[in-house]
Amino acid sequence: MTSRPQLIFLGCLFLALLIVPFLGSRYLTELAVQVMILSLLALSLNILAGHVGLISFGHAAFFAIGGYATAFFLSRWQLPLGAAMPLAIILATAFALVIGILCVRLKAIYFAMLTLAFSMLVWGVIIKWKPVTGGDDGFVGIALPQFLATPQNFYWFTLAIVSISTALMWLLSKSTMGQTFVAIRENETRASFLGVNVRQMQLIAFVLAAIFAAIAGSLMAMYLRGMYPQSAFWTQSGHIVISVLLGGVHSFVGPILGASLLYLLEVTIHQYTQYWPLVMGLILLLVVLVLPEGLIGLFRKLYARLGRK
């Protein structure tokens, strides 16, 4: 898909999300909040996976750091939201800088393994550092500011943050830097011959991806009124990769489609059976074997076929 239809899609999506709270269904509102947060998380990984072509298997670490830090600053230090969230994001950025500098030195499988190792390190610390994180039981009971107490208000807050983040990521993907990212993905050697500092660009993408993941984590912690160690486990990172892949990596809106579809399926299937992971596994098998381009690839093919007729 070229950028025009994608922009129209994003616009329609935004308009639809503006209507949701007025439909009067609390269930729908809460569902939309979760879908938005998970879409933001998937979009954040796509900066790295889709644009630069580095697939991280430890992306959940930054989601967890953002969430736990927000929880800690809000509840333990009693900071106002306006300070807690930015601080949490700064903290995640710092982590991403250090981890990123070390990770971008490696490629492909080794990059995936190192990011996995770091995320397990974060997970291990979360599990064991009970006084700060609550350990196995998770960080329970976040004190939310008054203005976010109602589901309606929280919805507007999430919509605002997610929309701004998405807009920023869109601008990034259309900017010179975004184009440079794609150049690195397509041919790293050629990009470096053209004078691109490949490592530096990869690091920037890594940190940006981590920042938006941390924002998603921060929102999720506030939505759940808590944060749980499972959020940093390697399987969680796997889920983010699945969302991105299901939607389609080489497009902007793909991860939104992937994350939304995956979550809506999960909610639906959970009503019938506890074996959601089995279904997710089968979906992933299908995507890997038949649809490596994801849903976007499928749409493109259908579109091309219709156009020919």
Partner 1 sequence: MQVVYPRNALNDRKVRRMFTNPTVLFIQVMNSVSLAMNLFIIAAGLTLIFGVLRIVNFAHGAFYMVGAYVALSILRVTGDTDLGFLLGVLGSGVVMGAIAFVVERGLLSRLYDKEHMLQLLFTFALVLVIKDIVKMIWGTGQYSIGAPPFLRGAVNLGITYYPKYMLFLCALGPIIAIAIWFFMERTRWGRILRAAREDRVMLNALGTDVKMVYSGVFVTGAALAAMGGALAAPRSAVDPGMDALVIIDAFIIVIIGGLGSLLGSFVGALILGFLTVMGSIYLGEWVIVASYVMMVVILLVRPWGLFGKADEERH
Q: Point out which residues bind partner 1 (CB under 8 A).
A: 55, 57, 102, 105-110, 112-114, 116-118, 120-121, 124-125, 127-128, 233-235, 238, 241-242, 245, 275, 277-278, 280-282, 284-285, 288-289, 292
Given the complex with partner 1, which of 159 and 241 has the nearer CB atom? 241
Rounded to whole angstroms, the maximal C-alpha distance in the chain is 65
Given the complex with partner 1, which of 119 and 158 has the nearer CB atom? 119
Amino acid (one-letter) located at 150: T
Pick from 223, 87, 83, 64: which is nearest to 154 by CA?
Answer: 223
Smallest separation (angstroms) from partner 1 to the CB of 57: 8
* Sequence-separated (6 or more) residues with CB below 8 Å from residue 45: 56, 59, 209, 213, 240, 241, 243, 244, 255
Smallest separation (angstroms) from partner 1 to the CB of 6: 23
Q: Which helix (H) or strand (E) holds 63?
A: helix 60-75
Long-range contacts of 262-270 (CB under 8 A, 24+ apart): 262/38, 263/34, 263/35, 263/38, 264/31, 264/35, 267/31
Given the complex with partner 1, which of 21 and 53 has the nearer CB atom? 53
Q: Within 13 Å of residue 309, how many CA atoms lie on the same side as its CB?
A: 6
Smallest separation (angstroms) from partner 1 to the CB of 140: 20
Given the complex with partner 1, which of 74 and 287 has the nearer CB atom? 287
Smallest separation (angstroms) from partner 1 to the CB of 74: 26
Given the complex with partner 1, which of 93 and 115 has the nearer CB atom? 115
End-to-end CA distance of the chain: 19
Angle of CA points 265, 169, 110, to nearest 5°: 75
Smallest separation (angstroms) from partner 1 to the CB of 42: 14
Smallest separation (angstroms) from partner 1 to the CB of 85: 27
Given the complex with partner 1, which of 167 and 285 has the nearer CB atom? 285
